[in-house]
Structure 1
Amino acid sequence: MMSEPITLDYSRVFCVMLHDVAPIYERHVAQFTSTLAPLIGNQMSAAVVPCWDGEELTEKDRPFLERVKAEYGNIQLHGFEHFRRKGSGWVSRIADGKDEMNGLDDAETDWRLAEGQKILTRWFGEPARGFIAPTYNIGLATPERLARFGMHYTVGYKRVITSDGQQLPLSSWIWDVSPIRFLCLLGYRYGQLQYRFRRQACPCVVLHPLDLDRGFLPQIERTVTRLLRAGRQPILLESLGLGQPLQPKATAV
């Protein structure tokens, strides 16, 4: 499939995405909302894990989920339970075993995508149109496979890829790289370098609940404020038309 860049003025926009949205982190999600909403409103994406570490969403989670739906402009599927259950590797060791999609076969991958969409539809009224793989390791969850489950873009560390082969380059700040704090600091510094030198990429501020426990919220807030003062506006990927099904090409008559 031939990949094409998405046309966008990267000098005027940025995006914010909160990963690991699950009831276990209700307090963390609320704190991110109260800190960032006054700056950017609901122009944030919530990457929801429908069965965090094996605990499926239930009726008692409804108030939390309704707040997420109201306060975040996009809902994305973020794996099924986030944790890897089969095998191991260097990504697993660095990411504390949270690379869920690695080590899955075709059948297990399909089951997790289907069940994840079913649960999100139950609680949010519609399925997700975008996917973010835990630790950005997609395993067998390719754009073509995701499209069969209604998801037409997948977010990676350096790019968004759509089901029709378009690409949106990203320069990402990430603090929750690993339980090792030094690597978290490197994640931020690398984001700064990308922002400076990858001018043809859309800046993306990537948040995780554990960023709060590690004391990174002030730095996150400063990063968002700096982007706003540079004249950039927050955007949602789906406001660019991402998430739409692949359109069939017209045939000549």
Structure 2
Amino acid sequence: MADRSLMLVLHDVAPETWADYRSFVAAVDALGAVPMTWLVVPDFHRRNRLDEHPQFCRMLEQRLARGDELVLHGFHHLDEAPMPRGPHEWFMRRVLTHEGEFYALSETDAARRLEQGMAMFRQFGWPVHGFVAPGWLLGAGARRALAATGLVYTSDVRQLRLLPDFTGIEAPSLVWSARSAWRRGLSRQVSERLLARHRQAAVLRLGIHPVDMRYEYSRRYWLDTLGRLLADGRTPMTKIDWLGSNALRLGAVA
């Protein structure tokens, strides 16, 4: 097993969010060979179909050539299901996020969107091993549909999960809520506590979102934290490469 690794994960990757990420990615590239995992949305908010943005897709192909990984991240990244029923569903779909696309879908609808997403990856010749649901929210129907896809893994905020059985592998994730100053301040405190708690964890994930890039405070934190973890001896890896390097310990990984 690779000793103490880290995963740099870019969420909500789409043509309209590339402007947020561009300078951050350049800064990471300047640090050296730091492979990244890109969570790619095939049609972000129904206005960013990948096949309508050839230049953006060529950029992603170049990232693959550098050793990065592309992961399917929902399809529209938009919760369009009927209004939530009951306080728990309201909390999950309106308080935690408005973008939990795969929380309320039926198995049939989830399977259709998963196939559409994988088909778009195949159209570009991109390998796809993993799927991450927007907001990490998977309903029961979506779980059944995902288990039948043949994909290798999914993940939530705490674990990587091997498919088709959703076997959990501890992989703590740092993630911010950066929409306001108080949220950014609190996110920093929480992240520092998590870093201290999981200092010896086999793998840590840095879960970056486009909104983090719109504030120098949060953008600088991620760059500084990445630098600290690299200096501390952590090896940067994509999700699928980390799973592959740990195949014997975890069981067969396709």
Instruction: Deviation per CA, 1:15-44: give whole Å up to 9, x if none.
Output: 100000001112123222111112253510
Q: Which residue does the alignment assign to 1:26?
A: 18
Distance in 2 (CA, whole Å) between partners of 1:103 and 1:235 is 32
CA shift for structure 1 position 178: 6.5
Q: Tell me which residue corresponds to 2:101.
A: 100
Letter in 2 for 1:99: G
Contact kept? 1:96, 1:179, Cα under 8 Å: no
Counterpart-to-counterpart distance in 2, 1:146 and 1:127: 17
Q: Distance in 2 between matches of 1:191 and 1:76?
A: 24
Q: TM-score, normalised by structure 1?
A: 0.83
Change (3 A) 1:148 1:242: farther
State the match for 1:153 in structure 2: 153
Which structure 1 residue ranges, 5 or more long, are not aligned? 1-6, 249-253
Equivalent residue number for residue 39 of structure 1: 31
Mapped to 2, the partners of 1:165 and 1:42 lie a distance apart of 28
Please give the TM-score of this superposition, normalised by the length of structure 2.
0.82
Q: Say whether the 8 Å CA contact 2:34–2:237 is kept in structure 1.
A: no
Counterparts of 1:57 and 1:90, CA distance in 2: 29
CA deviation map 1:112-137 (0-9, x unaligned): 111111112213x0352101111111
Distance 1:190 1:81 in 2: 30
| Cα drift, residue 247 of structure 1 | 5.9
* Distance (Å, rounded) in 2 between the aligned partners of 1:203 and 1:240: 11
Against the structure 1 CA distance between its residues 145 and 135, is the aligned structure 2 distance closer, same or farther, given a 3 Å change threshold? same
Q: CA deviation at 1:184?
A: 4.2
Amino acid aligned to 2:228: R
- CA positional deviation for 1:166: 4.3
> Is residue 18 of structure 2 the alignment partner of residue 17 of structure 1?
no
| Cα shift at 1:58 | 4.7
Distance 1:165 1:106 in 2: 16
Q: How many residues align?
A: 236
Alpha-carbon distance between aligned partners in 2 of 1:184 and 1:67, rounded to the nearest angstrom: 30
Match of 1:117 in 2: 118
**Is the Cα contact below 8 Å between 1:94 and 1:178 reproduced in 2?**
no
Give the Cα separation in 2 of the matches to 1:186 and 1:135: 19
Aligned-pair Cα RMSD in Å: 2.6
Residue number in structure 1 paired with 2:75: 80
C-alpha distance 64-247 of structure 1, shift in aligned 2 (>3 A):
same
Residue type of the alignment partner of 1:14: L
User: 1:225: which partner in 2?
Assistant: 227
